[in-house]
């Protein structure tokens, strides 16, 4: 699908590249919301002459598959674009919010003589800018291997089958020629509650693929400057490509959620353009990108259809026991862990605490601290159990802080409710008595 963006009320030549890119992002995100689940379109910004409008969006043809009323959707798309354009166009451009959407067959000449192409976007300055941004994201060796990670066989199978395409790249893409019909990209989303091993899994995957890893969180990419976030995002994908690294984007929740419809806030517009840029970057990227998110709420279908999602589950009793083991005893060759454990350490008892991996790591640390203070030289079961109790108390405290009932104060008990009802009843009967007394 090709979309021509005809600048009619102003000249595409008079606007800078960043604005052009913002226009493309807006067009893309509005197209995506009006016509979900369509392939990523190619967008060309041109100059044209049509005095009634500021901009005419010309779709090669209306998508029809799974789309009801495409003409109306096209109009909604035009409205959405019109609403958002004012925030990206320079002030000196006289813009009056008139945007139309048409099909190519209804606009004779589009793609031939009507549109003279807008200036080439990649100016030298911009190239330098992307280089500068890409240089900020350096790939590093992964910190964990699969041998440290405790996951169910099922989760392990899902992770390994997701990356099998890269491990067998030579056979699949060179020998069997799959490269002629698709790109060897792997887009993985690890989701699950905090401390369940999402970051560890991303690192273990990089280790398995013998690649370095570029770690970035949404907070590293977003920027308070308008238009800077999408550029940084493009920069980071470029860095991953140049360094042939696994790209790991943590805290990706807000980026992967559905597009915001209230775009009156400039922060909403920024997130929307980040999402559009992300979709475009994912489409172009032919390496591996791993996202990690705690909450997948209101997921954007455009991402859902592109990502392989794997849930990192909270560990059950057996998994907890294994995680305790791997945090207390040396695992694998060359392991440096050397905790002087006493013989009474009982993993079954420790695993009874309903902890996630991170809680276990914290408890091990606390247990060792307890030991060096109280009984240096050995870490006993008592030291570890005491640490478990401390960790549990901390978890309860955090749970209470985030529990609105507790925040408001004590929960209303049944006894409290009975007292309130009795009080109201008392008031009513007193009032009724007064009325009866006053009646002649």
Ligand X SMILES: Nc1ncnc2c1ncn2[C@@H]1O[C@H](COP(=O)(O)OP(=O)(O)OP(=O)(O)O)[C@@H](O)[C@H]1O
Whichever of 285 and 326 has its CB closer to ligand X, that residue is 326
User: Which of Mg ion, ligand X, none does residue 400 bind (CB under 5 to 8 Å by kind)?
Assistant: none
Q: Is residue 63 at the binding interface for ligand X, with CB under 6 A as the rule?
A: no
State in angstroms the smallest separation of the CB of 304 from Mg ion.
21
380 near Mg ion, judged by CB under 5 A: no
Sign of torsion, CA 177 182 186 192? negative
DSSP for 186-229, please give it.
Answer: EEEEEE-STTSSHHHHHHHHHHHTT--EEEEEHHHH--SSTTHH
The least distance separating ligand X from the CB of residue 155, rounded to whole angstroms, comes to: 9
User: Is residue 198 a contact residue for ligand X (CB under 6 A)?
Assistant: yes
Is residue 388 exposed (0-12), middle (13-18) or buried (19+ Cβ within 10 Å)?
Answer: buried
Q: Stretches 34-42, 103-111, 188-196, 297-305: which one binds ligand X (CB under 6 A)? A: 188-196
> Which span (148-156, 171-179, 260-268, 373-381) binds ligand X, by CB under 6 A?
148-156
Least separation in angstroms between CB 336 and ligand X: 14
**Secondary structure (DSSP) of 311-375:** E-PPP-HHHHHHHHHHHHS--STT------B-TT--HHHHTTS---HHHHHHHHHHHHHHHHHHS
357 forms part of the interface with ligand X (CB under 6 A): yes
Least distance (Å) between residue 199 CB and Mg ion: 3
395 CB burial (10 A radius; 0-12, 13-18, 19+)? middle
Choose between 321 and 326: whose C-beta lies nearer to ligand X.
Answer: 326
Any contact of residue 199 with Mg ion (CB under 5 A)? yes
142 binds, among Mg ion, ligand X, none (CB under 5 to 8 A by kind): none
Task: Calculate ∠ Cα 188-43-48, nearest 5°.
Answer: 165
The full 3-state SS of 65-90, as one line of letters, equals: CCCCCHHHHHHHHHHHHHHHHCCCCC
Which element (helix H / strand E) includes 132? Answer: helix 124-135
The residues in 372-391 that bind ligand X, with binding defined as CB under 6 A, are none
Nearest to 327 by CA among 379, 285, 370, 291: 379
Decide which of ligand X, Mg ion, none touches 2; Cβ closer than 5 to 8 Å per partner kind.
Answer: none
Pick one of 37, 138, 194, 267: the residue that binds ligand X (CB under 6 A): 194
CA distance 73 to 62: 9
Closest CB 190 distance from Mg ion, rounded Å: 9
Q: What is the smallest separation between the CB atom of 256 and Mg ion, expressed in angstroms?
A: 15
Per CB under 6 A, 142 contacts ligand X? no
| Nearest approach, Cβ of residue 371 and ligand X (Å) | 19
- Full strand arrangement of the beta sheet holding 55-59: 99-103, 55-59, 2-7, 42-47, 116-117
Residues 213-272 contacting ligand X, CB under 6 A = none
Distance CA 257, CA 146 (A): 29
Cβ within 8 Å of residue 131, ≥6 positions away: none
Return the closest-CA partner of residue 155 out of 205, 102, 227.
Answer: 205
Interaction between residue 294 and ligand X (CB under 6 A):
yes
The item of ligand X, Mg ion, none sharing an interface with residue 196, based on CB under 5 to 8 Å by kind, is ligand X
Q: Nearer to Mg ion by C-beta: 5 or 292?
A: 292
> Dihedral through CA 30, CA 36, CA 42, CA 47, nearest 10?
-30
Under 8 Å between Cβ of 128 and 17: no
Nearer to ligand X, 123 or 147 (CB): 147
In the complex with ligand X, the residue whose CB is nearer, 150 or 341, is 150
- Smaller CB distance to Mg ion: residue 102 or 198? 198
**CB 114 within 8 Å of CB 46:** yes
Q: Tell me the closest approach of the beta carbon of residue 398 to Mg ion, in angstroms.
A: 17
Q: Binding to ligand X by residue 149, rule CB under 6 A? A: yes
79 binds, among Mg ion, ligand X, none (CB under 5 to 8 A by kind): none
By the 10 Å C-beta count (0-12 exposed, 13-18 middle, 19+ buried), 137 is classed as: buried
- If contact means CB under 5 to 8 A according to the sort of partner, which of ligand X, Mg ion, none does residue 357 touch? ligand X
Residues between 307 and 326 that touch ligand X (CB under 6 A): 312, 323, 326
Whichever of 59 and 290 has its CB closer to Mg ion, that residue is 290
How many chain residues bind ligand X (CB under 6 A)? Answer: 19
- Tell me if 316 sits within 8 A of 290, measured CB to CB: no
Q: Which of 81, 82, 134, 151 binds ligand X (CB under 6 A)?
A: 151
Strands 308-311 and 213-217: unpaired
Q: How far is the CB of 308 from ligand X (least distance, A)?
A: 17
User: Which residues contribute to the site for ligand X (CB under 6 A)?
Assistant: 148-151, 194-200, 292, 294, 312, 323, 326, 357-358, 361
User: Which residues contribute to the site for Mg ion (CB under 5 A)?
Assistant: 198-199
């Amino acid at each position: 699908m090709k979309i021509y963006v005809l600048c009619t009320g102003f000249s595409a030549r008079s606007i800078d590249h960043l604005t052009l890119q913002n226009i493309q992002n807006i067009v893309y995100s509005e197209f995506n919301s009006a016509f979900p689940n369509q392939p990523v379109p190619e967008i060309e910004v041109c100059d044209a002459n049509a005095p009634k409008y500021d901009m005419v969006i010309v779709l090669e043809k209306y998508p029809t598959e799974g789309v009801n009323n495409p003409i109306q959707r096209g109009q909604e798309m035009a409205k959405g674009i019109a609403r958002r354009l004012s925030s990206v166009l320079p002030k000196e451009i006289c813009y009056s919010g008139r945007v139309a959407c048409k099909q190519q067959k209804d606009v004779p000449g589009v793609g031939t003589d009507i549109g003279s192409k807008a200036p080439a976007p990649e100016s030298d300055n911009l190239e330098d800018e992307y280089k500068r941004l890409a240089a900020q994201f350096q790939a590093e060796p992964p910190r964990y291997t699969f041998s440290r990670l405790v996951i169910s066989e099922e989760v392990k199978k899902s992770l390994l089958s997701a990356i099998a395409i890269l491990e067998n790249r030579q056979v699949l893409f060179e020998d069997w020629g799959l490269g002629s019909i698709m790109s060897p990209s792997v887009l993985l989303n690890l989701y699950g509650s905090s401390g369940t091993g999402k970051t560890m899994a991303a690192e273990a995957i990089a280790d398995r693929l013998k690649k370095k890893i570029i770690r970035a969180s949404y907070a590293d990419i977003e920027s308070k400057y308008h238009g800077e976030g999408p550029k940084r995002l493009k920069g980071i994908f470029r860095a991953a490509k140049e360094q042939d690294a696994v790209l790991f984007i943590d805290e990706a929740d807000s980026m992967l959620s559905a597009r915001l419809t209230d775009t009156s806030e400039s922060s909403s517009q920024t997130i929307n353009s980040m999402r559009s840029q992300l979709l475009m970057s994912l489409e172009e990227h032919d390496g591996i990108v791993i996202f990690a998110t705690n909450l997948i709420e209101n997921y954007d279908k455009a991402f859902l259809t592109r990502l392989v999602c794997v849930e990192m589950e909270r560990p059950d009793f057996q998994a907890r026991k294994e995680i305790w083991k791997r945090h207390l005893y040396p695992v694998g060759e060359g392991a440096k862990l050397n905790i002087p454990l006493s013989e009474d350490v009982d993993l079954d008892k420790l695993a009874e605490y309903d902890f996630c991996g991170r809680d276990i790591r914290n408890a091990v640390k606390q247990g060792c601290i307890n030991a060096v203070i109280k009984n240096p030289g050995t870490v006993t079961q008592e030291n570890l159990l005491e640490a478990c109790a401390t960790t549990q108390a901390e978890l309860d405290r955090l749970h209470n802080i985030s529990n609105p009932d507790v925040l408001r104060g004590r929960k209303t008990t049944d006894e409290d409710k009975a007292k309130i009802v009795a009080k109201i009843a008392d008031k009513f009967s007193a009032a009724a008595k007064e009325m009866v007394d006053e009646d002649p």
